[in-house]
Chains A and B, each alone.
Chain A
Amino acid sequence: MTAAVKQHLIDPAVCIRCNTCEATCPVGAVTHDANNYVVDASKCQFCMDCVSPCPTGSINHFVEVAKPYSLADQYSWTELPPEDASTEAAAGVEAFDEDAAALLADAHKGSGGKVRRPPSASDPRINLFSRRNPAEATVTGNLRLTPEGASSDIRHIILDFGNTSFPVLEGQSIGIVIPGEGANGRPHALRLFSIASPRDGERPNTNNLSLTVKRVAEKKPDGTELRGVASNYVCDLKQGEKVKVVGPFGSTFLMPDDPEADIIMICTGTGSAPFRGFTERRRRSTPNAKGKLHLFFGARSPQELPYFGPLQKVPKTLLDQELVFSRLANKPKEYVQDRMRKRSADLGPLLKRATTHIYVCGLRGMEAGVEASFDEICQAYGLDWPQLRAAMRESGHYHVETY
């Protein structure tokens, strides 16, 4: 098979020839004749500036082709050429950065098949800033969430974008460019971090976002310590420091924009980041929504559970929370899947509802237990979990992001 290249196309059957894209494009890649508006594949750099202002959505077509369509090809069209199955279109493209795309594909594979965004989710912007052309953000906060002496160092990091537009949605990720080189003399590999704040910032209408980052520092059997380059760089950031940010990435693990949606959120540790964004978004936009948020959140102990304090202040009407601990003195170990079974009387009916969305986020090790609990609950309620899971995934209602 020929290596495919990505190409940006405009759907001539939807476009109204309003010239907005041509006026917006910073590199002159969009042009037109009397018939069509088209994108010059040799000029387009996928900066996405034209996507948001387009009034029709006709601009939002990214395909993979063996050879890019020429301008003459595009001028002659009355509709887009049919795509063949091997180059399925990019409604589901999570990132144009290949490393970011690979990382997200890996993180989402626990869902068991091709993932789709929730039908009501807002249209995400992706890849606005690339590694060649990153956005600059200023660190305006770096707060340790776990007490000194706890076995993990988890940080709440706030990045402010100043005058740069960096539009994100809850559930998306960003990459941070780590300065320097690895042992192999090449730039450090890209690492992604889930955004922990809602789309309009830490406080409404602030141009910033937050991350929940755990410092990776593990004792190896030989006594040395494994230190994650990226997480240590981020956890050591000082207020006022500048960082280079790429992204945003992710177009499927997004929050439904529907007040009637019930959202079941299952996480461990820093996997809670997107759910902090979800919760805050719901609180700000539709606090009296008919749909409810249900959180199953596991950690070793309250001290090691990020945002334990703030969570105590979230009203139960907004967020039904189950905080589950596996290392409490004098108590048997309990994991999120155990608590899910205890709440089967609530989860069962939720699983029967078409408006329910499920999100699983955290360490990959949690998947099997969570699956087993859903299976058990389904059996008790006359449902077939593998079937239901496939159907929910197909319709954008089931999402896994694990690592």
Chain B
Amino acid sequence: MNIVNVDYDGLIPNNVGLNSDTRVKAALEKWHLGYINWWHDMGPEGFQQSLVYLRTAVSVDPKGWAKFDYVKMPDYKWGILLAPEVPDRKIPFGAHRGEKVWQEVPGEYRAMLRRLIVIQGDTEPASVEQQRFLGKTAPSLYDLRNLFQVNVEEGRHLWAMVYLLQKYFGAEGREEAEELLQRRSGDADTPRMLGAFNEETPDWLSFFMFTFFTDRDGKMQLEALAQSGFDPLSRTTRFMLTEEAHHMFVGETGVGRVIERTCDEMKKAGIADPGNTEAMRKLGVIDLPTIQRKLNLHFSLTLDLFGNEISTNAANAFHAGIKGRFREDKLEDDHRLENGTYPVLRLVGGKIVKEESPALSALNMRLRDDYVAECAAGIGRWNKIIEKYGIPFELKLPHVAFHRQIGEFSKIKADIDGNVLAEADWKKKKDDFLPSNTDRAYIESLMKPESRPGQFASWIAAPKTGIDNKPGDFEYVKIAE
């Protein structure tokens, strides 16, 4: 079976030879029914019959991997696609470094692997659920299409994880696969597994912030899993990363376009003071301080996804060769980390201090640092837009201790510069840091759908280039009446 060649004949497009694997094929076909039901119940509300100009992954060969076409979302070809096998691949890190990669689940790491796959898998449908009402207020057909692209690809990523569960984890895997369809984002009784995936995505700025910050956590986790010694996991996550890049794109350019529109209107109206929120809101754009507060919220919620700074689970997963570091293959050290240390921010006696900790225990921290560096670079590009308009304002990442629910700093209140605050001070200043009810109400008031091709809502600029090189007035979604 050639890995590059995708079998499109069956119900489930795949390059894993599903046709000759009757047990897994039957299990997945059964699961498919539940998945489609879930998609109808919890997928994008109100657009299931619309024709959407979507990208479908059809091959893992870069020359022809994606094709664009109008598709009704329930007819999207959710397939199982693994990146080509790297011949003679060796486990790149941990105690088994240098040994041949595993093609089957190593017994001693079975529970750990299953948990990692289930947690990753749970985030995929969760974000579709969080975003299901956004279609009703899309600022353009272009953005509507991008939302749906993100949604169908999150759906495919669920498939990717479910394949691993069904193929390698027997009856337990089947149960986990079922439960992935049962949990619901934000549900009081059966919530999704991670906090940020139970938050609402009430408006489009939240969606863009979510794809910039929270999907980027997803990307970091996938990068770490792509290094895995369990080869099927490595191959499936490597291919997922190609799709995940589109989600980063939606977030970065989405927020960038909001900023651009605001700056443009400020300049036209001759508003020099970026703090003049009232004047900017009269223009129907989102003022820069509110964008900063949204950024503070989403960044801090996402940091919680990295878990505790010092973590035995992360150490074990690395030691076992299951989950590596960000771009492990590009790092130059012993890839075992049994002796080294890594600087970690900790809370000591109510103060935030940097301490050297054993490198193996500090892996969550390390991945989070790589994440923060990427976020900072993206924010630098947003600031370039503001700079271009000559507006004296700079977006900043808040301190990692700000507004945390998990880890070292969950016990304290800190401001965005990392100063520890007394509870009373926090209450007083909270609305300076995080979106207030007034902010939310204002943003909500802007959320009016714009469904004419080539037109954009008042608060967001048009993109620089179209999807698939399409022109500005391309009808990305043909909305079914």
B1-44 vs A, Cβ < 8 Å mask (1 yes, 0 no) = 01011001100000000000000000000000000000000000
On whether A286 and B70 interact (CB within 8 A), knowing A14-B464, A163-B5, the answer reads yes
Cβ of A56 within 8 Å of any chain B Cβ, yes or no, is: yes
Cβ-closest chain A residue relative to B246 = A55
| Choice from B9, B62, B249, B474 contacting A50 with Cβ under 8 Å | B62
- The CA-CA distance from A257 to B377 in the complex, in Å, is 37
Contact between chains at A165 and B4 (CB < 8 Å): yes
Once the chains are docked, how many angstroms separate the CA of A162 from the CA of B59?
13
* 9-residue interface stretch from B134-142, B176-184, B188-196, B465-473: B465-473
Q: How far is the CB of B220 from chain A (nearest CB, A)?
A: 12
Inter-chain CA distance A55–B467, complex, in Å, is 9
Most buried by B among A24, A48, A57, A286: A57
Cα A18 to Cα B9 in complex, Å, equals 33
User: Which residues in A have their C-beta under 8 angstroms from that of B418?
Assistant: none
Interface size on B, residues (CB 8 A): 40
- Complex alpha-carbon distance, A52 and B63, angstroms: 7
Measured in the bound complex, the distance between the Cα atoms of B466 and A60 in whole Å is 12
Nearest CB in chain A to that of B8: its residue: A205
Which chain A residues border B68 with CB–CB below 8 Å? 122-123, 257
Q: Is the CB of B63 within 8 A of A163?
A: no
B67 at the interface (CB under 8 A from A): yes
In angstroms, Cα B252 to Cα A297, docked, is 50
What is the chain A residue whose CB lies nearest that of B63?
Answer: A165
Query: Which A residues between 159 and 184 are near B, CB-CB below 8 angstroms?
Result: 162-167
Q: Are A165 and B252 also in contact (CB < 8 A) when A78-B384, A120-B470, A120-B471 are?
A: no
Tell me if B61 counts as interface (CB < 8 A to partner A): yes
Closest partner residue, chain A, to B250 (CB atom): A55
- Chain B hits for A54, CB < 8 A: 245
Task: Tell me the interface secondary structure of chain A in the complex.
Answer: loop
Question: A20 with B469: in contact, given A55-B248, A167-B64, A205-B8 (CB under 8 Å)?
Answer: no
The reply to whether B245 and A18 form a contact with Cβ atoms under 8 Å apart is yes
B65 touches A52 (CB 8 A): yes
Interface: A17 (CB within 8 A): yes
The reply to whether B65 and A55 form a contact with Cβ atoms under 8 Å apart is: no
Interface flag for B355 (CB, 8 Å): no
Residues in A whose Cβ lies below 8 Å from that of B465? 14, 56-58
Beta-carbon contact of B2 and A163 below 8 Å: yes
* A55 adjacent to B469 (CB under 8 Å): no
Cross-chain contact B248 with A18 (CB below 8 angstroms)? yes
A83 on interface, CB distance cutoff 8 Å: no
Q: Which residues of A contact B377 (CB under 8 A)?
A: 17, 34
Q: CB distance B470 to A119 under 8 Å?
A: yes
Residues on A with C-beta less than 8 A from B70 are 257, 259, 285-286
Q: B474, A119: Cβ atoms under 8 Å? A: yes
Once the chains bind, are A16 and B470 in contact (CB under 8 Å)?
Answer: no
Whether B457 sits at the interface, judged by CB under 8 Å, is no
Query: Is B378's beta carbon under 8 Å from chain A?
Result: yes
Report A24 CB to chain B, min CB distance, Å: 5
A20 touches B63 (CB 8 A): no
Contact residues, B33-85 vs A (CB, 8 A) = 59, 61-70
Q: Tell me whether A165 and B474 are in contact (CB under 8 A).
A: no
Q: With A49-B62, A53-B65 in contact, is A119–B471 under 8 Å at CB?
A: yes
Tell me the smallest distance from the CB of A151 to a CB of chain B, in Å: 40
Select one of B2, B63, B248, B471 contacting A166, CB under 8 A. Answer: B63
Query: Is B105 on the interface with A (CB-CB < 8 A)?
Result: no
Contact status A57-B63, CB under 8 Å? no
Taking CB atoms, residues of chain B closer than 8 Å to A205 are 8-9
Q: How distant is A384 from chain B, measured CB to nearest CB, in Å? A: 25
Is residue A128 contacting chain B, with contact meaning CB distance below 8 A? Answer: yes
Chain A residue at minimal CB-CB distance from B385: A13
Contacts of A56 in B (CB 8 A): 249, 253, 465
Q: A56-B465, A165-B59, A167-B64 are in contact. List 9 more A-B contacts (CB 8 A).
A: A53-B62, A54-B245, A55-B245, A120-B474, A163-B5, A167-B63, A205-B8, A257-B68, A257-B70
- Please list the residues of chain B having a beta carbon within 8 angstroms of any beta carbon in chain A: 2, 4-5, 8-9, 59, 61-70, 241-242, 245-246, 248-249, 252-253, 374, 377-378, 384, 464-471, 473-475, 478
27 pairs from A and B in contact (CB 8 Å cutoff)? A17-B374, A17-B377, A17-B378, A18-B249, A19-B245, A24-B62, A24-B242, A52-B62, A52-B63, A52-B65, A53-B62, A53-B65, A53-B66, A54-B245, A55-B246, A56-B253, A58-B465, A91-B469, A122-B68, A128-B63, A165-B4, A165-B61, A167-B64, A205-B9, A257-B69, A259-B70, A285-B70
Residues of A at the B interface (CB closer than 8 Å) are 13-14, 16-20, 23-24, 34, 47-50, 52-58, 60, 78, 91, 119-120, 122-123, 125, 128, 162-167, 199-200, 205, 207, 257-259, 285-286
